[in-house]
Amino acid sequence: MYIKVEDTTAVRWFLTSLVSIFFREVETRNSHTVPVRGPVILVCAPHWSQFVDAVLVMSTNRRPIKFLTAAKTMRRRFVGAFSRYLGCIPVERPQDLATKGKGTISAATGATTVVGKDTQFTKDLTPGSGFAVDGHVFKVEKVISDTEAEVRDGPSEGFKDVAFKVYPRLNHDDLYEMVYDALKRGEAIGIFPEGGSHDGSMLLPFKAGVAQMALGAMAAGSPPVRLIPVGLTYFHGHRFRSRAMVEFGDPISIEQDMVEAYRNGGDAKRGAFDKLLKRVQEAVEAVTITAPDYETLKLLWAGRRLYKPENLELSTEQTQQLTIRFSEAYVQLKNEPEVQALRSDLAVYNDALRAAGLHDHEVVQTTVLQESEIFSGVLQKGFLVLIQTVVLIPFMVFGLPILFACRVVSTFKARAAAASSAVKEHGRDVVATWKVLTALMIVPICLVLYSILLGQLIHPRLTGISWCLLPIIMLGSLHLWDHYTDLVKQLRGLLALMISKQQTVELYYQRCKLKRRIRALVNRAADDMGIDRMFDEKDFMGEADHGLELDELLSM
**CATH number of the domain enclosing 154:** 2.40.30
Residue 383 contacts by C-beta under 8 Å, 6 or more apart in sequence? none
Residues pairing with 107 in the sheet: 159
Mean of pLDDT values over 273-293: 84
232 CB-side CA count, 13 A:
30
Radius of gyration of the chain (CA): 27
331 against 191, higher pLDDT: 191
CA 520, 245, 276, 71 torsion: positive or negative?
A: positive
Residue 394 contacts by C-beta under 8 Å, 6 or more apart in sequence? none
Q: Which of 234, 254, 285 is at the close of a domain? A: 285
Q: Measured in whole angstroms, how far is the alpha carbon of residue 323 from the centre of its chain?
A: 15
Q: What is the pLDDT, as a whole number, of residue 554?
A: 47
Please report which helix (H) or strand (E) contains residue 458, including its range.
none
- Does pLDDT of 131 surpass 80? yes
- Cα–Cα distances (Å) from 514 to 342, 344, 430, 441, in that order, read 8, 11, 35, 47
> Do 418 and 356 have their domain in common?
no
pLDDT tens track for 138-176: 999 999 999 999 999 888 889 999 999 999 998 888 999
pLDDT tens track for 234-259: 888 888 888 888 889 889 999 999 99
- Mean residue pLDDT of the chain comes to 84
Q: What is the pLDDT, as a whole number, of residue 503?
A: 76
User: Measured between alpha carbons, how far is 230 from 210 in angstroms, rounded to an integer?
Assistant: 13
> Do 53 and 146 have their domain in common?
no
> Do 78 and 108 have their domain in common?
no
DSSP strand E in 59-184: where? 65-70, 89-91, 99-100, 104-107, 113-117, 130-133, 136-145, 148-151, 159-162, 165-167
Mean of pLDDT values over 289-294: 69
pLDDT level of residue 550 (50, 70, 90 thresholds) = very low
Q: What is the pLDDT, as a whole number, of residue 48?
A: 87
Which residue type, as a one-letter code, is found at position 218?
A: M
Q: Which of 241, 258, 285 is at the close of a domain? A: 285
Mean of pLDDT values over 470-487: 85
- Does pLDDT of 2 surpass 50? no
> Do 439 and 300 have their domain in common?
no
Q: Which of 111-115, 185-189, 288-292, 306-310 has the lowest mean pLDDT?
A: 288-292
| Crossing angle of the two packed helices 209-219 and 173-184, in degrees rounded to 10 | 60
173 CB-side CA count, 13 A:
1
> Do 220 and 323 have their domain in common?
no
> Do 434 and 464 have their domain in common?
yes
Find, among 312, 274, 329, the residue nearest to 518 by Cα.
329
Strands 188-191 and 65-70: parallel
CB atoms within 10 A of CB 196: 17
CA 43, 45, 47, 53 torsion: positive or negative?
A: negative
CB-count burial class (<10 Å; 0-12, 13-18, 19+) for 359: middle
pLDDT level of residue 335 (50, 70, 90 thresholds) = confident
Q: Which of 267, 285, 303 is at the close of a domain? A: 285
> Do 375 and 443 have their domain in common?
yes
Q: Is the peptide bond before 46 cis (omega within 30 degrees of 0)?
A: yes
Q: What is the pLDDT, as a whole number, of residue 516?
A: 85
Which contacts of 485-488 are long-range, i.e. CB under 8 A and separated by 24 or more positions? 485/241, 487/381, 487/384, 487/385, 487/388, 488/385
Phi-psi region of 203 (alpha: psi -120 to 50; beta: other; left: phi over 0): beta
> Do 65 and 212 have their domain in common?
yes
- We report the CATH number of the domain holding residue 246 as 3.40.1130.10
Q: What is the pLDDT, as a whole number, of residue 142?
A: 93
Which DSSP letter does residue 308 get?
Answer: S
> Do 309 and 359 have their domain in common?
yes
> Do 491 and 392 have their domain in common?
yes
Q: What is the pLDDT, as a whole number, of residue 552?
A: 52
User: Measured between alpha carbons, how far is 306 from 511 in angstroms, rounded to an integer?
Assistant: 8
State the DSSP string of 496-514: HHHH-HHHHHHHHHHHHHH
Q: What is the pLDDT, as a whole number, of residue 369?
A: 64
Mean of pLDDT values over 418-444: 86
Which residue type, as a one-letter code, is found at position 455?
A: G
Q: What is the pLDDT, as a whole number, of residue 66?
A: 93
Query: How many structural domains are present in the chain?
Result: 4
User: Measured between alpha carbons, how far is 131 from 114 in angstroms, rounded to an integer?
Assistant: 9
User: Measured between alpha carbons, how far is 298 from 283 in angstroms, rounded to an integer?
Assistant: 24
- Does pLDDT of 456 surpass 50? yes
Which residues form the domain of 77? 5-93+173-285
Q: What is the pLDDT, as a whole number, of residue 545?
A: 54
Q: For the whole model, what pTM was predicted? A: 0.78
Which contacts of 366-374 are long-range, i.e. CB under 8 A and separated by 24 or more positions? 366/493, 366/494, 366/496, 366/497, 366/504, 367/497, 367/504, 367/505, 367/507, 367/508, 367/553, 368/508, 368/544, 368/545, 368/553, 368/556, 369/494, 369/497, 370/556, 374/494, 374/497, 374/498
Phi-psi region of 250 (alpha: psi -120 to 50; beta: other; left: phi over 0): beta
Q: What is the pLDDT, as a whole number, of residue 364?
A: 67
> Do 382 and 443 have their domain in common?
yes
* HEC sequence for 183-194: HHCCCEEEECCC
User: Measured between alpha carbons, how far is 51 from 78 in angstroms, rounded to an integer?
Assistant: 12
> Do 218 and 320 have their domain in common?
no
Phi-psi region of 126 (alpha: psi -120 to 50; beta: other; left: phi over 0): beta
The answer to whether residues 429 and 48 touch, using CB atoms and an 8 Å cutoff, is: yes
Q: What is the pLDDT, as a whole number, of residue 43?
A: 96
Find, among 392, 476, 393, 402, the residue nearest to 443 by Cα.
402
- Cα–Cα distances (Å) from 376 to 155, 363, 379, in that order, read 65, 17, 5
3-state class of 426 per DSSP?
coil
pLDDT level of residue 26 (50, 70, 90 thresholds) = confident
pLDDT level of residue 409 (50, 70, 90 thresholds) = very high
